Amino acid sequence: MTGRTATLRRGSVSWLTVSALLMGMNIVLSMSIFSIPVPGGHLYFCDVVINTAAILLDPLAAFIVGGVGSFLGDFFFYPAPMFVSLVTHGLQAVIVSVISHRCLQRKPLLSSSVAVTVGAVVMTVGYTLGRAWVYSTPAYAIVKLPFEILQGGFGAAVSIILLYPMRIRYAFRRILNRS
């Protein structure tokens, strides 16, 4: 293993493969089979994949995984909010990626924790406003607000647990160093 910093070069086969794999996971987790029914809809686990991808990848790949993956998941399974998902999850992924890669670089756990917290707020606000716009009723958006907060918090917490205590981030970097 060399001492070089492991990164995926944009447009490389590895970059495309990892981005496509994580986008596919995001699409699959957009299915109702992998969700928890709640009043007015479902609670999805795609935020775990979006946050994990955003911390591991650059902002463009994060947008592809988060925004495009969520857009396609909605397109295939429930098309009404697909543009809201594109914008909201895309913005969430880019913000998480930028904060985790550029802020507090000597403290990656703290940087990533701040990033996913800000990302959860972006997702909650984005979906609340998006639902009010798509369904033309703020009351529906308010009913779903606690579940959006739960989804954002769950996605943030689980992604941090996967990346740091379970060491997926370090395994990912080690694999990149071998290639």
Binned at pLDDT 50, 70 and 90, residue 84 comes out as: very high
| Domain-embedded: residue 3 | no
What values do phi and psi take at 141, rounded to 5?
A: -65, -40
CATH number of the domain residue 48 falls in: 1.10.1760.20
Torsion of CA 58, 27, 150, 34, to 10 degrees: -140
Within 8 A by CB and 6+ apart from 124, the residues are 145, 148, 149, 152
Instruction: Flag whether pLDDT at 131 surpasses 60.
Output: yes
pTM of the model: 0.88
The total of structural domains in the chain comes to 1
Average pLDDT on 41-70 reads 92
| Domain-embedded: residue 23 | yes
Average pLDDT on 92-113 reads 93
- Between CA 47 and CA 119 the distance in angstroms is 9
Residue ranges with strand state E in 20-173 = 35-38, 41-44
Binned at pLDDT 50, 70 and 90, residue 4 comes out as: very low
**41-44 vs 35-38, strand pairing mode:** antiparallel
| Domain-embedded: residue 1 | no
| Domain-embedded: residue 8 | no
Q: Which domain holds residue 165?
A: 13-178
| Domain-embedded: residue 5 | no
What values do phi and psi take at 63, rounded to 5?
A: -65, -40
- Between CA 88 and CA 49 the distance in angstroms is 15
| Domain-embedded: residue 67 | yes
Instruction: Flag whether pLDDT at 36 surpasses 90.
Output: no
Helix axes 138-163, 168-178, angle to 10 degrees: 60
Instruction: Flag whether pLDDT at 3 surpasses 70.
Output: no
Average pLDDT on 145-154 reads 89
Name the residue with higher pLDDT: 175 or 118. Answer: 118
Count of beta carbons in the 10 Å neighbourhood of residue 79: 11
Instruction: Flag whether pLDDT at 163 surpasses 90.
Output: yes
What would the two tokens of residue 160 be? 């941090």
Q: Sort residue 77 into left (φ over 0), alpha (ψ -120 to 50) or beta.
A: alpha
| Domain-embedded: residue 2 | no
Average pLDDT on 146-156 reads 90
Can you give the pLDDT at residue 179?
A: 60
| Domain-embedded: residue 150 | yes
